[in-house]
A and B are shown apart, each in its own frame.
Chain A
Amino acid sequence: MNGLGAFLERQRELRGAWLKALYGVLAALVLLNLFVGPHEPHFGLDAYPGFWALFGLVVGVLMVVIMKRVVQPVIVRREDHYGDI
């Protein structure tokens, strides 16, 4: 295992710290959004601070839940459904 591989291996044990860092960065971004906004909001609502954060979170959650829990169960078949594998 080379240097980079060993470094990545060590990071596995620091999961908690990385997660805290992520939450910290996200909070900082929203805080910054209170002071920095778009010159010309494109959708109206995006003038409000936190819009894009909420947009990313809500669209992401809806997309994953709807596609994995509602759509996929309907359209999924066995891997060799067409008999060409």
Chain B
Amino acid sequence: METSSFIHPAIGFLALAAVLPFLRGKWWNWLLPAPAVLAVFAVFTMTPGDHLTLNWLGQTLLLGRVDKLSLVFAQVFAVMSVAGMLYAMHVKDRGQHIAAALYVSGGFGCVFAGDYLTLFVFWELMSIGSTFLVLLNRTRESVLAGFRYFLYHTAGGLLLLAGLLIRYKALGTWEFTPMAPGSAHLYEWLILAGFCVNAAVVPLHAWLPDAYPRGTVTGSVFMCAYTTKTAVYVLARGFAGWEILAAAGTVMAVYGVLYACIENNARRILSYHIVSQVGYMVAGIGVGTAMTLNGAVAHAYAHILYKGLLFMGTGCLLYAAGTAKLDKLGGLAARLPWVMVLYMVAALSISGMPVFNGFISKTMTITGAAEAHRTLVALGLEIAAVGTFISVGIKLPYFAFWGGKPTDNDRVLAPIPWNMYAGMSVLAVLCILQGVAPSILYAYLPFEVEHPYVPWSVWHVLQSLLLLGFSGLAFYLLRKVITPHEGLNLDVDIAYRAVGTGALRFVCRPLAFLDDRWTEAYRTGGLRGLMGIALGSVWFDRRAIDGVVDGSARTVRGIGGLGARTQNGSLQDYLGLAAFFALCVFGLVWYLG
């Protein structure tokens, strides 16, 4: 087995996360893009095949399954990590970089995992890393959202774990292979449900618009790229052709744009559009022809580039103006012109405007669905395309940069560092390059098709321009109606919040009751006895032990203090500690295996 032609792209990121806390001086931030560049190099030099096997508890784990499907996802993950790390270079908080590095390495780990155990370990690593990217925004709102996010993903992870354990019991293998559509084993449904949580399949999606708008400016850029797309990858590998996904994807595509239509927070609009865009991919996987699968993969690739850029653009607004709420913005076009231009590149990409990369990926999925005679799927995706252009293509930039307001010269804007522009420029160039020359992307698509899809035909261009032009007209006519206002739109998270509150009551009430009774009993009975014992022991202590014990007491107090410091009651620290120990164990196993 050839191992020399495979460097696992996660290695660099894990190394970065490990050394970052110990680096001194000011120049450590120049190290940030290094593992990303290494990852790009690794992806373009690795050869297909099975690499990096590991024996653990009598099981053989496969950490490096390299084939066309894993390669194309790894490639876009690597490219995105370069832009994301560039964009984040100015951030002084090392914790954010460590979280991002662990998160990205988890993404690579999942993509190359050849078995369910490896997949699960990296799946959870992603979940922990991304939780920190929300928590480290360090507002009360973010910490609470991060906590909900973590609970939700833990539940999703447990579904996956239950599924893969039952599957092992039934089949005797951890191997991660395609599941035949329509077979109705419990374990397959459990695994599918675990994947669907991360793919934000409606109605399991509410964690996404809850957490992503509350992440750090640079953290959300990473999150929008990896979690859902890793889920798309595992769905494409495991569940291609599953009918239920075609329906679920179409519902997602429409549901996301409907909510985006009424949202006020720019980053939440984009979050709902992740649900919608991932819907295209899930639908493509569900239809399951070579063309729609390629469409799903192409759309995932294009989507990572433009969605990263969209989150970067709105991140700039948040960074400079201090808010991403559209009713608080407006009149900024002349003051942040390049942010506007770079944002618009991404906005036109997601809308599927010719020249930009959404045009060559979105139309492929829709045409594929229509050619497979899935008229309803294709129709749903066209409706979603209209909503996408109205919300992300026009509404968001119009109300952020113009909004019918005069140029806002009074607002104090924080200057945007050069590296943020650099990260955005990388993605903007790629969005346009792929749009103009689709073969740059199509060359890497994994599935063989009889008739290659040609996006640049007169009809495709005309159809896209007609659809987008007239949805633009609809916006213009209704610009007074669609004006965003402050407010919270209820979503299905109302259900899981109720479950959470209920569970908390269920646990807390009896515990509080017991605690009360115990305190009472202790005060009346226990305390008196204890006082007696204490008096006796004080006498003994003074006479006999003082000299002997003093030395060891100091030691014990020292250890106790350390213990108390680690148990400070804040979830972040527990999580970090748990992740740290898990990594140590994994590293040990790796080394010993």
Contact = CB atoms under 8 A, between A and B. Distances in A.
Interface of A: 1-2, 4-9, 12, 22, 25-26, 29-30, 32-33, 36-39, 42-43, 52-57, 59-61, 63-65, 67-69, 71-72, 75-82, 84-85
A57 B407 contact: no
A79 B469 contact: no
Contacts of B497: 82
A61 B473 CA distance: 9
Given A43-B379, A79-B486, A52 B458 contact: no
B481 interface: yes
Given A64-B390, A64-B475, A64-B478, A57 B262 contact: no
Interface residues on B, range: 35 or more
Nearest to B261: A67
Interface in B328-362: 333-335, 337-338, 340-341
Contact of A67 (B262, B458, B470): B262
Contacts of B467: 52-53, 55-56
Contacts of B458: 36
Per CB-CB distance, the 10 closest pairs between chain A and chain B, nearest first, are A60-B474, A56-B470, A42-B370, A4-B337, A56-B471, A52-B466, A60-B471, A5-B334, A57-B470, A76-B487
Given A4-B341, A26-B469, 17 more contacts: A6-B334, A26-B470, A32-B462, A33-B466, A36-B459, A36-B462, A39-B459, A52-B467, A56-B469, A57-B473, A59-B471, A63-B257, A64-B475, A65-B481, A68-B482, A71-B262, A78-B488
B470 A42 contact: no
Given A6-B334, A43-B379, A63-B258, A68 B487 contact: no
Contacts of B469: 22, 25-26, 29, 53, 56
A84 B140 contact: yes
Given A32-B462, A64-B474, A4 B261 contact: no
B261 A56 contact: no
Secondary structure of the B side of the interface? helix
Contacts of B140: 84-85
Contacts of A54: 470
B334 A60 contact: no
Contact of A5 (B335, B466, B482, B490): B335
Contact of B407 (A9, A59, A63, A68): A9
A85 to B, nearest CB: 5
Contacts, number: 152
Given A9-B334, A33-B466, A42-B375, A60 B262 contact: no
Interface stretch (B119-127, B176-184, B380-388, B421-429): B380-388
Interface in B459-498: 459, 462-463, 465-478, 481-482, 486-490, 497
Contacts of A6: 334
A61 B477 CA distance: 8
A1 B435 CA distance: 31
Contact of A29 (B145, B338, B466, B486): B466
B481 A60 contact: no
B478 A65 contact: yes
Nearest to B386: A59
A51 to B, nearest CB: 8
28 contacts: A1-B334, A4-B337, A9-B333, A22-B472, A22-B473, A22-B476, A29-B465, A38-B463, A54-B470, A55-B467, A56-B471, A57-B473, A57-B474, A59-B383, A59-B386, A59-B471, A59-B474, A60-B386, A60-B390, A61-B477, A63-B257, A72-B487, A77-B487, A77-B490, A79-B487, A79-B488, A81-B490, A82-B488
B489 A75 contact: yes
Given A26-B469, A84-B141, A43 B375 contact: yes
Interface in B313-338: 333-335, 337-338
A50 to B, nearest CB: 8
A67 B333 CA distance: 28
B482 A64 contact: yes
Contacts of B475: 60, 64
A6 B337 CA distance: 9
Contacts of A22: 469, 472-473, 476
A60 B141 CA distance: 34
Nearest to A51: B466
Interface string B6-50: 000000000000000000000000000000000000000000000
Nearest to A11: B333
Contact of B459 (A37, A61, A63, A80): A37
A46 to B, nearest CB: 8
A27 B379 CA distance: 24
Residue of B387, B390, B470 most packed against chain A (CB within 10 A): B470
B144 interface: yes
B98 interface: no
B141 A85 contact: yes
A42 B367 CA distance: 8
Given A52-B467, A57-B470, A78 B487 contact: yes
Given A33-B462, A56-B470, A76 B481 contact: no
B353 to A, nearest CB: 13
B221 interface: no
A63 B386 contact: yes
Contacts of B481: 64-65, 68-69
Residue of A4, A37, A39 most packed against chain B (CB within 10 A): A4
A38 B466 contact: no
Contacts of B487: 72, 76-79
Contacts of A63: 257-258, 261, 383, 386-387, 390
B471 A8 contact: no
B82 interface: no
B58 to A, nearest CB: 46
A61 B474 contact: yes
Contact of B463 (A7, A52, A60): A52
Residue of B341, B465, B466 most packed against chain A (CB within 10 A): B466
A65 B479 CA distance: 11
B144 A84 contact: yes
